[in-house]
Chain A
Amino acid sequence: MSGMADTFFNLAVMRQYLPKVIEGMGVTLQLALAVVVTGLMLGVVLALLRSLRFKPLNALIVVFADVFRAVPALVILIIIYFALPTVGVRLSGFASAWLGLSLVLAAFAEEIVWAGILSVPRGQWEAARATGLGFAQGLRHVVLPQALRLTVAPLTNRAIVITKNTALASVLAVGEILYQAQAGYSFSYNPSPLTLGAVAYLILFIPLVWFGRWVEGRFAWKR
């Protein structure tokens, strides 16, 4: 048992790599926050563009949403970070992860918000226009407030799933939690830094899991 403790909870090793893992938590938080903000914004903008019902544009949006929902996030990150340089586009690891994960979140968010917009009965649109509101005003004051309320729970859950994907950025050598933990592991040849990394993720994500469940109960899609 003491062997087990020495291996996975080696205090000397943990003390040595704790600052690095904490530094990694900062990077994970930054990346997660950046991805959630840009991803959700882009997703809502795309759904709004889709509501213009301009056919060629809608076809493009659907292709975008389908591609970025179907292809695994890790494949997308690897294409951006390792493949784009071969045609002369070079992004840092952080920028690649930010861009890639934002696009994935945007694709899912677009489909969810669009489903929300579609769910608002036609009569609401017509009533808004009949009272003299323009297209944008009707969207802004009548349709969106109803549409977005329905999408709060699925959007929150999707955003939480994507923030967990920030761990994939370690493959692009971004100094987030997992990268630091792995580096510590290979320097010390002791898995205690991985334990630290695991604890760091639990500290960040357990509250998110609970928050997601709370939101789900509060804004549940009524069937």
Chain B
Amino acid sequence: METLIDGFFNARILAEAMPYLLRGLGVTLLLCAVALPLGVAGGMLLALASTLRSRTLRWAATIYTDFFRAFPPLVLLLFIAFGLPFVGVKPAPFVSVTLAFVLNTSSYYGEILRAGIESVAGGQHEAARSTGLSRWQSLRYVILPQAVKNVVPDLVSNTLEAIKLTSIASVVAMPELLYAARQVQSVTYNATPVIAAGLIYLVLLWPLVRLLSRYERQAVSIR
């Protein structure tokens, strides 16, 4: 028990690690603030592309979505971080991570929003058009509000995954929360910083997890 507390919940080491962890948390939050909106916007573009008349664009959107959903994000990140320098582009870690993150999450958001748009009954669009709204207006004021509402649980679930995903940035030495924790761990040879990082993620994401459970229950109970 003594060794467990000393190794996992060491107050002295925690006090030393805290400034680094908080700085790491700052980077994690900054990454979320930059990359999440871009991912959602990209997903929205993909979902809108699936409503177009042009078959080529619809196909392009589907291929993009399936390709990046099949690709483990860590593989994508390493490919970008290690591969791009060979073609003469040397992106900063933050840029590589954001790029990988947006390519990955936009494909998931795209798939979810597309399902949302498809869940809105066809008559809605026809009714909107017959009242004189243009194609775009009908999408903007009639279809999308209902589509987004129908897939809120999936959007929450994906946002949870996306925020957790930022932890893989530690693999390419971007100083976010997990990386900071591992740095302090390797200096002190003590697990406390990593445990503390886990607890910070828990505190940060616990509300989302609870929300997710509530949505899962509603989804199956309204039949």
Partners in one complex: yes
B47 adjacent to chain A (CB < 8 Å): no
Stretch at the interface among A11-19, A135-143, A162-170: A162-170
Q: B189 to A115, Cβ gap below 8 A? A: no
1/0 per residue A67-91: CB within 8 Å of B? 1011111111011001110111000
B66 touches A115 (CB 8 A): no
Do B165 and A72 touch (CB < 8 A)?
A: yes
| A112 nearest CB neighbor, chain B only | B216
- Among B72, B219, B221, max chain A CB count under 10 A is at B72
Q: Is the CB of B198 within 8 A of A201?
A: no
Which residues of B are found within 8 Å of A66, using beta-carbon distances? 202, 206, 209-210
- Chain B interface size, under 10 / 10 to 19 / 20 to 34 / 35 or more: 35 or more
A87 and B4 contacting across the interface, CB-CB below 8 Å: yes
Enumerate chain B residues within 8 angstroms of A205, measured Cβ to Cβ.
70-72
Residue of A nearest to B221 (CB): A119
Please, how many angstroms separate the alpha-carbon atoms of A83 and B222 in the complex?
44
29 contacts between A and B (CB under 8 A): A7-B86, A8-B86, A66-B206, A70-B204, A71-B164, A72-B166, A72-B201, A74-B178, A75-B178, A79-B194, A79-B198, A83-B185, A87-B8, A115-B217, A119-B220, A171-B171, A178-B75, A178-B78, A185-B82, A191-B83, A194-B78, A194-B79, A197-B75, A202-B71, A206-B66, A209-B69, A222-B223, A223-B150, A223-B222
Interface residues of A in 191-206 (CB under 8 A from B): 191, 194-195, 197-198, 201-202, 205-206
A223 proximity list for chain B (CB < 8 A):
119, 150, 219, 222
Q: Using Cβ atoms and an 8 Å threshold, which residues of chain B touch A154? A: 216
Tell me if B178 and A71 are in contact (CB < 8 A).
no
Q: B212 an interface residue at 8 Å Cβ cutoff?
A: yes
Q: Are A82 and B185 in contact (CB under 8 A)?
A: yes
Taking a contact as CB atoms under 8 Å apart, the answer to whether B221 and A118 are in contact is yes
Partner of A194, one of B83, B168, B182: B83
Give the distance in Å from the alpha carbon of A102 to the alpha carbon of B204 in the complex: 23
**Chain B 185-223: CB-based contact to A (< 8 A → 1; otherwise 0):** 100011100110110011011101110110011011111
Report the nearest B residue to A8, measured CB to CB: B83
Residues A75 and B194 in contact in the complex (CB < 8 Å), given A83-B8, A115-B217, A191-B83: yes
> Given A73-B164, A223-B219, A170 and B74 touching (CB < 8 A)?
yes
A39 at the B interface (CB under 8 A): no
Apart from A83-B185, A167-B74, A221-B220, what 4 extra A-B contacts exist at CB < 8 Å? A116-B220, A119-B220, A119-B221, A198-B75
Where the two chains meet, the residues of B that have a C-beta atom closer than 8 Å to any C-beta of A are 3-4, 7-8, 66-67, 69-75, 78-79, 82-83, 86-87, 119, 150, 160-161, 164-168, 170-171, 178, 182, 185, 189-191, 194-195, 197-198, 201-202, 204-206, 208-210, 212-213, 216-217, 219-223
Cα distance, A73 to B79, chains bound together (Å): 21
Contact A78 B194 (CB under 8 A): yes
A182 to B, closest residue via Cβ: B78
Determine whether the beta carbon of A74 is less than 8 Å from that of B168.
yes
The answer to whether residues A67 and B202 also contact, given A74-B178, A83-B8, A164-B72 and a CB cut-off of 8 A, is yes
Judge whether B201 and A71 touch: CB under 8 Å: yes
Is A4's CB within 8 Å of the partner chain B? yes
In whole angstroms, how far apart are the Cα atoms of A20 and B179 in the complex?
29
Residues on A with C-beta less than 8 A from B189 are: 86
